[in-house]
Amino acid sequence: MTDILQQDIKYLSGIGPQRQKILSKELGINTYGDLLQHFPYKHIDRSKVYTIREMTSDMPFVQVRGRILSYETFPMGANRKRVVAHFGDGTGVMDLIWFSGGQYIMKTYHLGVDYIVFGRPGVFNGRMQITHPDIDPAESLTLESMGMQPYYHTTERMKKTGMTSRSIERYVKTLLQNLPPLRETLPSSITQPLHLMSRDEALRTIHYPHNQYELQHARERLKFEELFYVQLNILRYVSGNRRKYKGYLLPRVGAAFNDFYFKNLKFELTGAQKRVVREIKNDMNTGRQMNRLVQGDVGSGKTLVALMAMLIAVDNGFQAVMMAPTEILAEQHLATIRDFLRDLPVRVELLTGVVKGKKRKEVMEGLLDGSVNILVGTHAVIEYTVQFHNLGLAVIDEQHRFGVAQRAKLWGKNENPPHVLVMTATPIPRTLAMTIYGDLDVSVIDELPPGRKPIMTIHKYEKQKLSLYEGIRREVAKGRQVYVVYPLIQESEKMDLQDLEAGYEELQRVFPEYRMSKVHGKMKPAEKDEEMQRFARGETQLLVATTVIEVGVNVPNASVMVIMEAQRFGLSQLHQLRGRVGRGAEQSYCILVSDYELSAETRKRLDIMCETNDGFRIAEADLKLRGPGDLEGTQQSGMALDLKIANIALDGQLVQLARDEAQKVIDRDPECNAPENSLLWNRLRELRKDNVDWGAIS
């Protein structure tokens, strides 16, 4: 049966080569199977026929049975006419109106013939009307065929060629009428206990349900199957890797760790930090390779946790490496780690593109002979020429900034893959983490160190700039520093640069007494880093920048983050930018400046930012507003979330159920070859062959 679903869509009656090209280009529909999985985005109940007397203008959609009594045409200039049909059913008369295609209507629909008219009612000059209604001969429709009418997404180009939702509906109806029963893709051991519809029934019902109850059950079956195979693939990958790769045993907690913890650490770890360190220590003592994701908001102490993990590696005779996405972040980590370790006999070195000549040679030799214990760097650390004496732990910071291939190169730096700890300050909702990072064990640092005050977030409009400038002046008078960020959208870099330049000039006029730094993506890396370092050293009071500072400089003295045109940023990005302040003990502020005219969704986004500093709540809201495909990191992660019907944001319970069922299969069949599961493994191979990239990514 797979063969018929692979059939080229052009062979379906009513389509042909020309429409096939449009369907392929506009909707990615190339086969019968693609059409079958182009699911309706809504259904409208057409089981009731109203009379004109019963109609009111606040009804969403209605259908009426009656006859066209007469036509009128009204000129609209330049060879265009508005066509009005007067339509009656014995209880009243209404108008049907067309602003285009009127000549076709008058030729096709005749006076005195019974028609079913369907559309959204309105009132004009006291008379009911429907603009551009659907019209069908009454004899061609039965109450059953009029039941729940599906509506399909199309594009403007399709509509111009006459391919509407009704066209798609006709193609689907033709396909279903000629389609033999579809084979099952889930075993009865799963479908029966969960009371799931058969695949054949679900795929037919999703297009033509008799009622909402049937529609809901069809959607549940198809969503579950989609999510189940995503999770099964991830867990199969994890199970295979855990059998294949043995991890280095790191049982010893020795001098490096203990001297740091008891002598150098001047404050108490949070409960969350202690919990995560325990989880990491347990991982490295199991004999299997660790793959752990540590999530935590900016300032939650992830770097300290990573350092303690690296010290355990050092105590066991291994080296550790920390890879960061930018040179400035790598240098920041180096400075933080050296400050933490102070006089301890642990050698920490930096390797980035700017480390050259004699210094680079010294670092490379130290890595090879084992005298360098901890290496901090950028993607330079994964170059082929960089060789370690005995690498035991790799820490990847802001891991979504690295491609899969780059991260994989770290695996080849020792005989067995090193333990891997990936960190992100972009909180990821649990259901999304379970899918995108499903091959990783997840730890969450959900406490901020004591003494940190929550950042106060305020929304201001452009016309309130005077009070904004007064607030900046008050903070700078206290000796604080201020970020002012302008949006950067790649398609419009020239315009954004003009925005930044104009804003910089305005700020110079408003604050002639202040020294300012300016940073944007068009600058050379050395110039950009120097400007950021000037700000970090306190030589400038204001840093005017685009989003290049989203991940980067750590300036505890900076207490104000001003985000201009905040409506152009996503929630995740706003939260990341806000995390640049609030790093000291003083009260910090984030000011969101926007236009007054905002869409409801944008206003909701800015309201959420003002209501909470909780990165996980913000991530959940971001997921619901934008969907998983747009979330920062999803596309870079190497996993395409090309789900046809499931929604990670809204189907959290189904994600968990699918994972639980997939885990049961893996537990019973860890080698993935049991005959009773052949249906599952064959189906998984089909999906992979069809380029559904559901592979795990770390």
pLDDT at 402: 61
With 80 as the cut, is the pLDDT of residue 438 above it? no
Relative to beta strand 516-519, strand 542-545 is: parallel
Please state the pTM of the whole predicted model.
0.67
With 70 as the cut, is the pLDDT of residue 245 above it? yes
d(Cα 138, Cα 276) in Å, to the nearest integer?
68
pLDDT at 1: 44
pLDDT at 166: 85
d(Cα 691, Cα 698) in Å, to the nearest integer?
19
Q: Lowest mean pLDDT: which of 27-41, 400-414, 484-498?
A: 484-498
With 80 as the cut, is the pLDDT of residue 552 above it? no
pLDDT at 664: 92
pLDDT at 586: 81
With 70 as the cut, is the pLDDT of residue 549 above it? no
- Work out the pLDDT band at 75, boundaries 50, 70, 90: confident
pLDDT at 550: 52
With 70 as the cut, is the pLDDT of residue 388 above it? yes
For residues 302-329, average pLDDT = 92
Higher pLDDT, 224 or 139: 224
d(Cα 504, Cα 542) in Å, to the nearest integer?
10
- Work out the pLDDT band at 698, boundaries 50, 70, 90: very low
Q: Lowest mean pLDDT: which of 41-50, 103-112, 236-245, 658-667?
A: 236-245
pLDDT at 491: 43
Percentage with pLDDT > 90 across the chain: 41
Per residue in 566-581, pLDDT (tens digit) is 988 888 788 888 888 8
d(Cα 31, Cα 20) in Å, to the nearest integer?
9
For residues 469-479, average pLDDT = 92
For residues 10-31, average pLDDT = 92
With 70 as the cut, is the pLDDT of residue 447 above it? yes
Q: Over 248-317, what HEC string results?
A: CCCCCCCHHHHHHHHHHCCCCCCHHHHHHHHHHHHHCCCCECCEEEEEECCCCCHHHHHHHHHHHHHHCC
pLDDT at 187: 93
With 80 as the cut, is the pLDDT of residue 662 above it? yes
Query: How far lies 368's CA from each of 364, 371, 373, 413, 460, in Å?
Result: 6, 8, 11, 11, 55
Per residue in 324-333, pLDDT (tens digit) is 888 878 888 8
Higher pLDDT, 424 or 120: 120
